[in-house]
Structure formats: structure tokens, C-alpha cells
Amino acid sequence: MHPSIPLFPEQASTMAARVDNLYFFMVATSAFFAVLVTLLVIAFAIRFRRRSPDGVGEPIHGSLALELIWTGIPFVIAMVMFVWGASVYFALARMPDEALDIYAVGKQWMWKFQHREGQREINELHVPVNTPVRVIMTSEDVLHDLYFPSFRTKTDAIPGRYTQLWFTATDVGTYHIFCAEYCGTRHSGMIGRVVVMPQNEYEAWLGGAATEGTLAQRGEKLFTQFACVTCHRADAAARGPLLNGVFGHAVALTNGNSVIADAAYVRESILNPTAKVVAGFAPIMPTFQGQVTEEQLLALTEYIKSLPTLQQVPGAQAAPPPTAPAPPK
């Protein structure tokens, strides 16, 4: 796959060529100015070399016109670069409307990937070709950064919050995954590979090895295991809001505000339940900080997301039928 001395990584995503084109433009512009200034310096140094020990230069003091030109031209070029860079950035930062969601948790010193269908992998990520993939990530400990050089994208995995990136792989093959944010002893060992497969092989791979059920099913088990179900229920004994149909919709809070119940809100409500209490309920839920891992949080979130909408859900406002879930923050 590599020529003998590669100068660029493979272009293996829909964004790779766009990023590279910007890079080539930058290289060309920079080379032009670097060569221009270098040639001028060399030409002047030869043409105006000191010919006698007492020689002095001509007193030329400057030129407003020249100053304006060489302030103006770099400014215009800089703005072209800014706009071009920003447009590529918009494309990288805007998540696709329909994407295959995969969860990632960074942990000293490994990447754990979780497919919604249940497959879990470490330092290896299988994805289908020509399919938009969104990776939603967090970190269990320190800062990490999930970097796919062949897809020209990366994002920090930050403990305590969710970040995300997307790519659409265009070529079947195996590519590097790096941790790009220094994270301690085995930072340089926190690498892996992303395996891009044809769609049908990916389906087969998903159904291949035995799993403990889908991510939502694991979340359901945890929902019972952590006894969430004793309060979050539909009957009169409920001391917490019923969670059906809540995900992705506005929730009224005791303080009069409302919040969109996204992954970040679900996570916060489990770890720091009194931060934003749903209207009509007492702040009695205990914290699960330290008892539930980031991966379990993702499973619980996925379970809550999967719950069918019921009519007249307590605590939720009159909700429209679920559409695309709000992106996690």
C-alpha cells in the first residue's frame, strides 16, 4: 500500500482529499513566498555586497506604498486560508444526519470500542466502507485523543464529557489508530488499527462472535443491577421519572428551566443526580459516581435511548415522536 518512501498518508475517507487539497494549496503558497524571499535575499546579498571596508548603504527610509502592499497581500492570502480552513472544518465538525454510532472509551492505555449491536473491541475498530460512522467518546481517566491519520480527523477524549468525530471510509483496508494526546507511560503503545470492511463482511463480523446481547440489552441488565428500576417505573410507587421517550426531548426541571435529555444529561444525572432534578420529583437519588464505569454509562444511555415512547410520560413534556437523537455535547 505504501510507496517506498511515503510523503502523505493514504486518502481513505471522504474528507482526506479535501484536507490534502488545502494542504497542497498551503504548500504551494508557502513555497512561492519562501522562494521569493530567499531569492531576493541572495540576489541582494550578491548585488549589494560590501565592496570597500568603509562602504555604506543608501539611506532609503521606506515606502508607504510598499508597506501597504506587503501588509495587504499577506492579509488577503491569510483570509483565503482562513475561509478555506474554516469550510473544511465545518465539514469535519458537522456530524452526518444518518450515521452508524460507535462508542469509544479511552483508558490508560487502550481504546475500547463498543458497537450498538453488542460487539466490543480493544485497540481495533471494524467499520463498514462507504458508511458514515460517528464515534462518540469519552475517557475513563486522563486526556486521550482518537486519531485516524488516514481519515484526516482526530478529537480529544476528555474525562467527564462526550466528544465526537465522524468519517466515511472510502477504501477497504487497515489503517492506523493513534492516541495523539499525551497520556502517560504507554502513550505510544495506545495505538491500534481500524479495519474497513465491505458492508456484507461487516454485517457478518457483527453477527460473528458471541456477545452479551446488544448494548441496549446490557444497559437493561445494568438498569436492574444498579436498582434503577425500583424508582424509575410506571406505577404509583415511582419516586423517579419514567424514562420512556425522554431521550432527545426537553425535560422540565424543578428550577423552572428545561434541558434536552441527551447523553451528557443522562450521564450527569447518574453521576450527579441533584444537579438538574426533573420537575415534580424530590432530589433523593444517590450518586453513582465511582460505582459505574464509562462503558456502563454508555450502555445505560443506550438502553434509555431504546425505551419505547409511552403516552403521558411523567416528567416529560408533551413530546413529539422521537426523531434523530440530539447529539451528545
Partner 1 sequence: MTTSDAATAVMPARHYLNEQRGIRSWLLTTDHKRIGLLYLFSITAFFFLGGFFALLIRLQLLSPEGALMTSDVYNRMFTMHGVIMVFFFLIPSIPATLGNFLIPIMIGAKDLAFPRINLLSWYIYVLAGLFALASLVLGGVDTGWTFYTPFSTSFSNTPVVTAGLGVFIAGFSSILTGLNFIVTIHRMRAPGMTWFRLPLFVWAHYATSLIMVLGTPVVAITVLLLAFERVLRVGIFDPSIGGDPVLFQHLFWFYSHPAVYIMVLPGMGVMSELVASGARKNVFGYSFVAFSSLAIAIIGFLVWGHHMFVAGQTVYAGLVFSILTYLVGVPSAVKTFNWTATLYKGSISYDTPTLYAFGFLGLFLVGGLTGLFLAAIGLDIHLTDTYFVVAHFHYIMVGGTLMAYLGGLHFWWPKITGRLYPEGWAKLSALVVFIGFNLTFFPQFIVGYLGMPRRYAMYPPEFQLFNVMSTAGASILGFGYLLPMIYLTWAWFYGKPAGNNPWGSKGLEWETTSPPPTFNFDRTPVVTEATHAYGHPEEVKVA
Residues 191-220 within binding reach of partner 1 (CB under 8 A): 191
Per rule CB under 8 A, is residue 227 in the interface with partner 1? no
Per rule CB under 8 A, is residue 97 in the interface with partner 1? no
State in angstroms the smallest separation of the CB of 124 from partner 1: 15
Is residue 19 within 8 Å of 152, Cβ to Cβ? yes
Ramachandran quadrant class, 328 (left: phi over 0; alpha: psi -120 to 50; beta: rest): beta
Q: Which of 300, 272, 302, 303 is nearest to 286 (CA)?
A: 272
Per rule CB under 8 A, is residue 120 in the interface with partner 1? no
State in angstroms the smallest separation of the CB of 316 from partner 1: 28
Pinpoint the alpha helices (H) of 174-293. Answer: 199-208, 215-225, 263-271
Beta bridge partners of 171: none
Q: Quick one: which of 17, 124, 130, 160 contacts partner 1 (CB under 8 A)?
A: 160
Q: What angle do CA 302, 288, 256 make, to 5 degrees?
A: 75
Q: Quick one: which of 9, 96, 322, 327 contacts partner 1 (CB under 8 A)?
A: 9
Per rule CB under 8 A, is residue 93 in the interface with partner 1? yes
Residues 249-288 that bind partner 1 (CB under 8 A): none
Per rule CB under 8 A, is residue 58 in the interface with partner 1? yes
State in angstroms the smallest separation of the CB of 266 from partner 1: 16
Written as nine digits, the cell of 262 is: 441527551
Is residue 211 within 8 Å of 120, Cβ to Cβ? yes
Q: Quick one: which of 17, 130, 189, 284 contacts partner 1 (CB under 8 A)?
A: 189
Per rule CB under 8 A, is residue 85 in the interface with partner 1? yes
Q: Which of 174, 115, 123 is nearest to 150 (CA)?
A: 174
Strands 110-115 and 100-107: antiparallel
Q: Quick one: which of 12, 65, 81, 116 contacts partner 1 (CB under 8 A)?
A: 81
Q: Which is nearer to partner 1, 89 or 213 (CB)?
A: 89
Per rule CB under 8 A, is residue 141 in the interface with partner 1? yes
